[in-house]
Amino acid sequence: MSGDREPGDQNAERTAQRERSRIARDLTSAVAGLPDAAIPDALCRACVTLLPEVSGLSASLAGPATRTGIVLFASDEVASELADTQFTLGEGPCTEALRLRAPVLAPDLTRGPDARRWPLFTVKAAKIGVEAVFSVPLTAAAGQLGTLDLYRETAGAMSQAHLRTALLVADALTLAISALDHASADSSEVVTWLQGAEADREEVHQATGMIMMQLGVNPQEALLRLRARAFAQDQTSTGIARAVIDRTTDLRHE
């Protein structure tokens, strides 16, 4: 009986390998010859084409802790807000996928266990018309690079075929971002868009340091205060960080 299964297993592996190669070629072709500034949008459009069954998607780069990160690209404002909201609140499929190092699937945020799992995130998702979210980690050799996050406007599980495609897209995207991230500083093709993403994260770090000095608190408390202000004002952590740095927001006056 085991011998009867072997050809099928081999065929499945060959099929997966062909699909993996096709997806990698699609992403590579999407960015070939483009200037640095055009790379994130090109990668985003390629991912949308490869995953047409979802309403939108985003990719985020993880910070040193699982609750920090920035959005590399997003297909629309809803996808961008979903990703940034999770980092602001410190909860949601994205942050859990980073912690677990495994896909986190939430097919119905309107009821049941998914709705109770992340109460603050669920409220925000419902407010912007999202009923299902799926997060796949971008896992590189050095650790967790970030996440690929997909959303749907209506509740419902992903089919096995669609989930398999999402996993393969995440693998190819990880390779693409890793290659860009390790581009030579002497190359004429220096990847400035990743540097720009890193700058967004640095704004949160800078603002956290300022809050530490202003309030005399530790880094964890300072970041918590920043996130609390962002949540209270229905903004992102990055937005509040910029206001703190510009001194248009002062958390001492609370």
> Tens-of-pLDDT digits for all 254 residues of the chain?
445 546 566 677 777 778 888 888 888 888 888 887 788 888 999 999 999 999 999 998 886 554 567 788 899 999 988 988 888 888 899 989 988 999 999 999 998 899 899 998 999 999 999 999 999 999 876 667 889 999 999 999 999 989 999 999 998 888 877 766 555 444 333 344 555 555 566 777 788 888 888 888 887 678 778 877 876 777 777 788 888 998 888 887 66
DSSP 124-140: HHHHTT--EEEEEEEEE
Domains of the chain: 2-181 (3.30.450.40), 192-253 (1.10.10.10)
- pTM value is 0.73
Cα–Cα distance between 27 and 216 in angstroms, integer? 47
Alpha-carbon Rg for the chain, nearest whole angstrom, is 20
* Whether 153 contacts 133, CB under 8 Å: no
Tell me the β-bridge partners of 144: 139
**Among 198, 185, 239, 189, which residue's Cα sits nearest to residue 37?**
189
